[in-house]
Structure 1
Amino acid sequence: MTAPLTPPPHQPPHNNGNSDPWQAPDPMTGHLPPAPAAPQEDGPGLRAELREAVVVTVGVAVVGLALGALWLWLAPRVPLVSDASAVYLKDTEGEQAIGIDGTFALLGLAFGVVTGAAVFLWRRRGGVPLVVALAVGSLLGGVLAWRFGVWLGPTQNVAAHAKEVGKGVVFDAPLELNAKGALLAWPLAALVVHLGLTGLFGPRDPDPYFATPYGPQHDGSATPTAP
């Protein structure tokens, strides 16, 4: 028969709720370190994050319809004229085509700022699914705005349009986006704004200093320290 194990003589029988009776007290304070807290899940969970990501992707992409309508309304027009045999640019030195691309890019930047801030205000945190959804939704929204603006604009059949208006009559060219890089203006602006707001105003991780036995406790009191 073996004798029951007993704590060492220098170890008090009561361990202040610590689960390990053989753990020695801290040599600086004479107190046992607090028991580690049970891990808690941070955030709403993967399934909820994926649902939110789908909502963000679809919602941001649909906003592209508004961008397409504004692009058609604000973009400059390229004037064309026909002599009954061919169609020509009325202003050969005009920069309307560059203005069309620039208008789309500027509108994309503005929509990126708005949607990035709106997604942050809706969910005041970051997360990979949310950021990816914002980027994908913004890119899809830009493509949808481009195609929607072209569809709403002047007809793509220039020859039939010239024949319809008649010889020497000025008419508008179809709306085109020549600089396809303008499609990236919206997602880039949205990501920069969202990540910036998350870094400035998003939730912070707990300071590890407050979790140590030597720092202040959550109630504002401090554990005694060695002189």
Structure 2
Amino acid sequence: MNHAADESTTILKADSFGRILLVGGGEQRFVRRDLGATPWWLRGFAWILACREARALARLDGLPATPRLLGWDGRWLDRSFMAGAAMYQRPPQGDVAYFRAARRLLGQVHRLGIAHNDLAKEANWLVREDGSPALIDFQLATCGRPRARWMRLLAREDLRHLLKHKRTYCPAALTPVEKRILKRHSWLRSAWFATGKPVYRFVTRRLLRWEDNEGQGPKP
């Protein structure tokens, strides 16, 4: 764990669940999730999310194009910095190679027994300097046996979200199988839209006064 208090820091994001900081400079940069800025009444939930992320990153164990876990002490979660732009900042318009590589990366993550669960957000897909994809923000991730029925269902939802981005930026490259996957909605998706999403919107918009905007930051 990097505890140096005199290192330069830049706030990348701040919301009700804490702050995301870029710490250090040059090759020594890393990203810190700081729960110390979380309101007391949300601290328990923020801690659970950080634990989920730490567990997923530990299981990824340095898989290329994903962050490495550097430390987690209950307040600070440190992970390696990954250079790149969010998908909405550098759209992979017509980039078949990007989406082919993204599907391979997602398959590797799933084979390690991890479902990301938050891939509708373009902010969680990076376009790296060489144009290749990377994945970040595993705080909603689920870990389990890759072949378990529940994990296969979650993995399919991850894939559907990737294919929705492909439909946005590279629609001509969608295969007949991918089009069928996009049309086939699981009971999990239906249950989320019927029950989970209204609760999520109430908590984030009414209680926290925060609009996620699918990972593109708060609306003005």
**TM-score interval (norm. to shorter):** under 0.3
Structure 1 or 2, whichever has the larger Rg, is 1
Which structure carries more strand by proportion?
A: 2
Quick one: higher RCO (CA 8 Å, sep 6+), 1 or 2?
Answer: 1
TM-score between the two structures when normalised by the length of structure 2: 0.22
